[in-house]
Amino acid sequence: MTGQTGPLRRTERLERLLEVSRTLSSTLELGPLLQSIVDVAVELTDSEAVSILLYDSSSGELRFETVPATQGSDLQKLSVPLENSVAGWIFTHTKPMVVQDAATDPRVFRKVDHALHFQTRSLLGLPLRIRAETIGVIEAVNKRGSAHYTEDDLKVLETLAAQAAIAIENARLLARLQQANTELMRLDRMKSDFIAIASHELRTPLGLILGHATFLKEVVPPDYAEQMDVIIKGSMRLKTLVEDMSTISHKEEGQSRVRRELFSMTKMVIDTVSRFQESAVEKQIELGCDVPENDPLMIEADRDKIEVALGNLVRNAITFTDAQGQVGLKAETEGGYIKVFVVDTGIGIPSGEADKIFDRFYQVESHLTRRHGGMGLGLSIAKAMVEMHNGQIWVESKEGTGSLFCMMLPVNERQASSAARVFHT
């Protein structure tokens, strides 16, 4: 190939450069990528060797990152100082350098030659840059046939240096992303462990407090009834929170299973309205429902789970609606589904937050002034429960006007299976 010049040689060079570009876009593995860049650089610049050196901020020196396979491990143990070396000069001045007669040039760092029993005769080097940052140097050594490095060699090496820099940046970004991901997973695991342990450990003492408080309320003089009620109400609230935590934990551990039974959604809606009537009255909120009079809306689902999901929606609707507001429940069939709506005239949800509120522990920041005592788990639980049935849950809301939550549930297992096919394709 040394004998070839002119257009053919140019086409060959372009093809080889194109090959490197293709490799660059087809793999993220840094080692093989840089190796292929070095190999192509050796070939196209007609050099005895090409190496990539990267700046190591801990030692303040340039470390050999990729070298020709023949010089492998010996060279990779060596580093080059920034002072008194060609590579160091290129790095600190961020400029290319050509040394046509290296044997007599004092700028050449000789230690590497000595260590490898090698003699650097000529050298062409360029800085490796990622945007404004210089990260290292690429060097071609000993132009074959005692020729001089040319302008063409410089251009080829420049192109390859740019590709090497992209490969290195991609690898660094990927490494950072993987590290962040591992850290996130570790934190998520810690959070899950905490939820599992806390909910388990709190359950027993809380049961004792609640049991004894209920017993005491019966026997203490009526003067203390109000205080006892405060204790019981507070403990009940804690119990709900612990149950939420435990539900989430079971769901994560995969311990939650759907146990289907046939029940009437009409009845569940009516019962839920009665269950929350007291809290609604306390807040001066009008709570009612609209269900078909003569249709029980039978559904085959896990009654407890749907009851929890619906309860969470209604509790929120009451919490985030002010006095004189309204909360309404509605149920109807549509195709093989039953849709249950919980509508309120409350404070609504800011646009852009509607999807996030279904995430675990997510609470709308501007709502936190309400001190409603929640933990941001209610909706994620409702979503988990609904999705376990292959159903869907969503919200439509306008800030300051109100919200409409809808749960759409398949009426039976067969419908749930076909829903799974529809939703997952």
Residue nearest to ligand ADP (CB): 374
Least distance from C-beta 186 to ligand ADP, angstroms?
Answer: 24
- Interaction between residue 350 and ligand ADP (CB under 6 A): no
Which of 64, 91, 149, 320 touches ligand ADP (CB under 6 A)?
A: 320
Task: Draw the binding track, 358-387, toward ligand ADP (x: CB under 6 A; -: no contact).
Answer: ----xxx--x------xxxxxxx-------
Which of residues 263 and 405 has its CB atom nearest to ligand ADP in the complex? 405
- Interaction between residue 314 and ligand ADP (CB under 6 A): no
How many residues touch ligand ADP under the rule CB under 6 A: the total is 22
Which of residues 140 and 357 has its CB atom nearest to ligand ADP in the complex? 357
- Interaction between residue 249 and ligand ADP (CB under 6 A): no
Q: How far apart are CA 258 and CA 384, in angstroms?
A: 11
Sheet holding 47-56, edge to edge: 79-80, 61-66, 47-56, 133-143, 123-130, 97-99
Which of residues 215 and 361 has its CB atom nearest to ligand ADP in the complex? 361
Least distance from C-beta 350 to ligand ADP, angstroms?
Answer: 9
Least distance from C-beta 290 to ligand ADP, angstroms?
Answer: 18
Question: Of the ranges 153-161, 190-198, 357-365, 417-425, which one interacts with ligand ADP (CB under 6 A)?
Answer: 357-365
Which of residues 127 and 378 has its CB atom nearest to ligand ADP in the complex? 378
Which of residues 68 and 378 has its CB atom nearest to ligand ADP in the complex? 378
- Interaction between residue 316 and ligand ADP (CB under 6 A): yes
Which of residues 159 and 397 has its CB atom nearest to ligand ADP in the complex? 397
Which of 312, 345, 390, 415 touches ligand ADP (CB under 6 A)?
A: 312
Which of residues 135 and 364 has its CB atom nearest to ligand ADP in the complex? 364
- Interaction between residue 357 and ligand ADP (CB under 6 A): yes
The 3-class secondary structure across the chain, one letter per residue, is: CCCCCHHHHHHHHHHHHHHHHHHHHHCCCHHHHHHHHHHHHHHHHCEEEEEEEEEECCCCEEEEEECCHHHHHHHHCCEECCCCCHHHHHHHHCCCEEECCHHHCCCCCHHHHHHHCCCCCCEEEEEEEECCEEEEEEEEEEEHHHCCCCHHHHHHHHHHHHHHHHHHHHHHHHHHHHHHHHHHHHHHHHHHHHHHHHHHHHHHHHHHHHHHHHHHHHHCCHHHHHHHHHHHHHHHHHHHHHHHHHHHHHHHCCCCCCCCEEEEHHHHHHHHHHHHHHHHHHCCCEEEEECCCCCCCEEEECHHHHHHHHHHHHHHHHHCCCCCCEEEEEEEEECCEEEEEEEECCCCCCCCCCCHHHCCCCCCHHHHHHCCCCCCCHHHHHHHHHHHCCCEEEEEEECCCEEEEEEEEECCHHHHHHHHHHHCC
Which of residues 228 and 395 has its CB atom nearest to ligand ADP in the complex? 395
Least distance from C-beta 267 to ligand ADP, angstroms?
Answer: 23
Least distance from C-beta 326 to ligand ADP, angstroms?
Answer: 12
Least distance from C-beta 236 to ligand ADP, angstroms?
Answer: 15
List interacting residues with ligand ADP (CB under 6 A).
Answer: 312, 316-317, 320, 344, 346-349, 357, 362-364, 367, 374-380, 403
